[in-house]
Amino acid sequence: MNRLATETSPYLRQHRDNPVDWYPWGDEAFAAARERDVPILLSVGYSACHWCHVMAHESFEDAEVANLMNVAFVNVKVDREERPDVDAIYMDAVQAMTGRGGWPMTVFLSPTGEPFYGGTYFPRDTFVKLLAAVSSAWRTKRDDLLKNTGKLRETISRSARAKAGDKDPPEQLIPATVAGLAKAFDQTWGGFGQAPKFPSTMSLDLVLTELLYRAPTDAAVAPLTTVLTTSLDAMASGGMYDHIGGGFARYSVDEKWLVPHFEKMLYDQALLVRLYARAASALADRFDTSRWKQVVTETVGYVLREMTQPDGGFSSAQDADSPGPDGHGHEGLFHTWTPDEVRAVLGDGPDTDAVLDWYGITDEGNFAEPGKPSRSIPTRLEQRGQFLRPPHIEAARARLYEARWHRPHPGLDDKVLTEWNGLMIAALAEAGALFGEQSWIDAAAKAGRFLLDNLRDGDRRWFRVWHADGQPRARHQALAADHATLLDAFTRLGEATGEANWIYEAMDMADTLLDHFWDPGEGGLYTTPDDGERLIARQKDLFDNATPSANSTAAVALVRLAALTDEQRYANHADRILQLIGPMVPRGASAFCNALAALALRTRGIKEVAVVGDRPDLVAVVRERWRPNVVLAWGERYDSPLWENRTDGLAYVCEHFTCQAPQDSPDGLRAQLT
């Protein structure tokens, strides 16, 4: 019996009609494995994953394969986006066993949850042989099969055993890390390393931060500017960026940013909006950054148009595949074009030829699924960085978008994830403030209120997942990353709206995070709460990957909240996180760029700015440029020394709550901020 029909996860529900007797993760599956004395076959993926769909079609929809699975195993399906705590444990095990990881992930477990073999995608014939081999070994050589589980348990528990340093990490880690990033920079195509290429948003964000701390005459300014501008232009010129509808795919399979895996994840939109908005704002006095602002505007437009639910929450992802004429899913079909398809929309003539040339859409194409005709991904690779469209191209783009809208759409994973919504809320609030886009701030606030109303229970404890069709709609205890991103989101909403309640919600979130996730011994945050489900390891999320780690996100947010409220225990806990992470940085600095952003705030200081009374002109001065070391209090007063004995109509620039002379003019405030 397949037990996924009542699950709320779109990924799990994709598998509800499989002939596999799937269980969701839980006690029922492990009890069945113990009763039958068979291993668990754990399959982990997510709804927008192309190779997950391939393995499902080849194996999980095949009656013969399903029968082998059902006879020899208890089969468990997990949505990694709903349960990243489960995914992280077994991904660490697979990487230890095979040297690599990815999704779909297939792991064989004992009935007590101990992993003993695993991998990623297996073609059907290979998978069938593997099922037979594991089943036979379980029956005849079980001791040999399980002999390494102890070592694997040590591997997957190593983050919890990390030892904190006995002093604060040195500021020198920041320029040293940035220098290492500059060496890894791809001078030709931008980004870091070779294919496949991911956006590396936190690395580029740290480069931007370091660039702003350097004097204009510093010898490092020019090369760091090259790293940043080349990467931002290249990513937005290639096919990873959707030139017709806005938004970014998850990564590029090649070094040029030409061919993406076409799934669009909410977290990528959030992190890239944040990065491009910061760069466009911070560097606008050095050169024309309007092209980056266009990327921000189009990406936000895509999210608000296609990934925002009526009540304000943000959906998780759009699929890489869309239905073709044969009824099967085809990767990239929705986003790619042929010249004839363009002409069918725009007609023949020189304007259409100009559009085909602008986007590089040719008969030869630049992308094809195996065995399928070649098609073209619209790009600006041949004119990198030149993606501001003249009026006739923009008019054509709008018509192409309208025509594309009538194609069969990729699947939408419409579950609301607390963590990813926190990232998007923070990005919208920050970008909206920088660009004076009140509608973006309003959308961020609406999403924030949606989360408060739907993902928090009567005891003010949080859930990770919400789905409109769920019974209950909210489920799964929120993890450290959920709390950390909301802490950051609520703080930035307070700065963007001037509404005091967001600061109070941020403080409540910080208290919950520290009460239930904190390690009083070595410091840092455990992934799961102290009253959460007991897995085979209680890990700590320390490394920045596609999303910033829970610990680095919390460190940044706690430092900023402390600067707004003078609640120093928040800053002290951030220091303890940095002391835990500090010794690891030299061994893999690119995995800690967001933590180093927190280190920059602690070692280089924060300017606290209070604008008292109704002075939108002074608020606008603070927002006219992104400054990584500035926090802003304005609008409604809340409990903080920033508001004490302050005169209406003035702005105060402070450090550690010691303030310079109050300012009543934009020029005077600007001078103190510079």
Residue spans of the domains in the chain: they are 10-156, 173-320+413-604, 321-409, 607-673
**CA 653, CA 138: separation in Å to the nearest integer?**
68
- pLDDT for 151 equals 84
pLDDT class of 6 with cuts at 50, 70, 90: confident
The pLDDT tens digits for 12-58 are 999 999 999 999 999 999 999 999 999 999 999 998 888 999 999 99
DSSP assignment string, 516-534: HHB-TTT-SBBSS-TTS--
Quick one: fold of 10-156? Glutaredoxin (3.40.30)
For residue 370, pLDDT over 90 is answered with no
For residue 456, pLDDT over 90 is answered with yes
Strands 463-466, 416-417: pairing kind: antiparallel
Give how far the C-alpha of residue 218 lies from the chain's centroid of Cα atoms, to the nearest Å. 33
Token pair belonging to 499: 């509404």
For residue 154, pLDDT over 90 is answered with no
pLDDT class of 162 with cuts at 50, 70, 90: confident
Contact (CB, 8 A) for 456 and 508: no
- What pTM was computed for the model? 0.96
For residue 472, pLDDT over 90 is answered with no
- pLDDT for 82 equals 96
> Considering only 61-70, 160-169, 196-205, 644-653, which range has the smallest mean pLDDT?
160-169
pLDDT class of 166 with cuts at 50, 70, 90: confident
Percent residues over pLDDT 70 in the chain: 100
The pLDDT tens digits for 260-291 are 989 999 999 999 999 999 999 999 999 999 99
The pLDDT tens digits for 508-565 are 999 999 999 999 999 999 999 999 999 999 999 999 999 999 999 999 999 999 999 9
- pLDDT for 316 equals 96
**CA 230, CA 218: separation in Å to the nearest integer?**
20
Residue in 77, 58, 56, 57 with CA at minimum distance from that of residue 3: 77
CB atoms within 10 A of CB 464: 24
Across the range 413-440, mean pLDDT stands at 98
Q: Per DSSP, what are the bridge partners of residue 44?
A: 78, 105
More confident site: 368 or 417: 417
**CA 107, CA 129: separation in Å to the nearest integer?**
15
The pLDDT tens digits for 207-260 are 999 999 999 889 999 999 999 999 999 999 999 999 999 999 999 999 999 999
CB atoms within 10 A of CB 315: 20
User: Which residues have C-beta within 8 Å of that of residue 187, sequence separation ≥ 6?
Assistant: 230
DSSP assignment string, 162-190: PPPPSSPPPTTHHHHHHHHHHHHB-TTT-
CB atoms within 10 A of CB 443: 22
- pLDDT for 329 equals 86
The pLDDT tens digits for 347-366 are 998 999 999 999 999 999 99
- pLDDT for 294 equals 98
**Beta strand segments in 594-642, E:** 607-611, 630-634
For residue 655, pLDDT over 90 is answered with yes
In whole numbers, what is the pLDDT of the chain averaged over residues? 95
Topology alike, domains 10-156 and 173-320+413-604: no
The pLDDT tens digits for 107-133 are 999 999 999 999 999 999 999 999 999
The pLDDT tens digits for 319-339 are 988 998 888 888 899 999 999
**CA 219, CA 221: separation in Å to the nearest integer?**
6
What is the CATH code for 173-320+413-604? 1.50.10.10
- pLDDT for 557 equals 98
Residues in the chain: 674
For residue 400, pLDDT over 90 is answered with yes
What's the burial of 190, exposed, middle or buried (CB within 10 Å: 0-12/13-18/19+)? buried
pLDDT class of 152 with cuts at 50, 70, 90: confident
